Amino acid sequence: MSLRQIRLGRGAVCVTELAFGAAGIGNMGSMVTDPEAESTVDAAWASGMRYFDTAPHYGLGLSERRLGAALRRFAREEYTVSSKVGRLLEPVGFPDGDDLANGFAVPATHRRVWDFSASGVRRSISASLERLGLDRIDVVYIHDPEDHARQALDEAYPELERLRGEGVVGAIGVGMNQPELLTRFLRETDIDVVLLAGRYTLLDQRGLADLLPLAAERGRAVVIGGVFNSGLLADPQPGATFDYAAAPEHLVTRAVEMKAVCEKHGVPLRAAALRFPFGHPAVTSVLVGARSAAEVRDAVALHNNRVPAALWEELRERALLPPGVPVPEEDR
């Protein structure tokens, strides 16, 4: 099985249109065993995914270690790996408890230290290369710099440019869940890609105001994460989560109405949610997290589930989608 490969912006790095998010194999939320993690990556490979995203933050380095070990059996030139900078992992002298307060079921052996300095970027990438077992990282994202914008722009980004020139980094990106600072990076730097989480979905199109049009205008790539808004678009019901908190009642009602329209047209709501971002020409890839082989196969099946034009039209007629929001060309 193969998935379409697309170049990131104007650079040489290519990614598959469906990307594997490795937070789950870093024990996000609950434990995954080493064999389960390996079989999950194997299923992604068998499904045609060749773009794998991780970060030091995910499981205090566990995600990077597991991903690197699983990919070691494949030819390096056949896949793309992205990781992130901004959180250094510092060992804890006397580990106590777990990291569940930060979302990961791992022992609290390290603490995260925010650092977007040039030296911090070098240290972070060096440690990531060691955990991954690689000599280069294809894409490095500046991770969640919302509260550190000045240092990220003045220090982290220029250092990544130097590393890109040295061949240690293939492409530079910024990833977060708010479009405003991403838009600023697009205007002020020569980044290759932005990773926008949860802000270009069926329920939230804030990325469409400025970010996506600017990325298209400048020939830069956009990778979309969080297409299910942390659960509400996967299973809309009272008590569902939206952006990792209890979903407001009006959003639950909206998602339930969307689900009814999708079912009328014989399409799972999750398939429509996964397909939706591809309607914008700046969107290169959609990132889906998985913690088991079954979840990988399910994501690929959803991706391959084409959505009829009549479904998009009915969502607009019912004011569940704004009239000007683009839908995937191939689904029209």
Distance in angstroms (rounded) separating the CA atoms of residues 37 and 17: 22
Q: Helices in the chain by DSSP H: which ranges? A: 34-46, 62-71, 118-132, 149-151, 157-166, 179-188, 211-218, 249-264, 269-275, 293-303, 309-317
Distances (CA, A) of 52 to 83, 250, 286, 329: 9, 35, 11, 26
Cα distance between residue 252 and residue 241, in whole Å: 9
Please, what's the b/e burial string for 164-196 (b: 16 or more CB within 10 A of its CB; e: otherwise)? beeebbbbbbbbbbbbebbbebbeebebbbbbb
Closest CA to 159 of 57, 86, 87: 86
Q: Is 58 a catalytic residue?
A: yes
Helices (H) and strands (E) in the chain, counts: 11, 16
Q: Among residues 58, 141, 157, 200, which one is catalytic? A: 58
Which amino acid would we find at residue 71? L
In this structure, how many other beta carbons lie within 10 angstroms of the beta carbon of residue 226? 23
The residues, ordered by sequence, that sit 6+ positions from 62 with a Cβ below 8 Å of its Cβ are 25, 26, 27, 104, 106
For residues 23 and 89, what is the distance between their CA atoms, to the nearest angstrom? 16
Instruction: Write out the two tokens for 170.
Output: 């293939």
Which of 68, 129, 60, 62 is CA-nearest to residue 91? 60
Q: Of 125, 22, 31, which is closest to residue 66 (Cα–Cα)?
A: 22
Catalytic residue list: 58
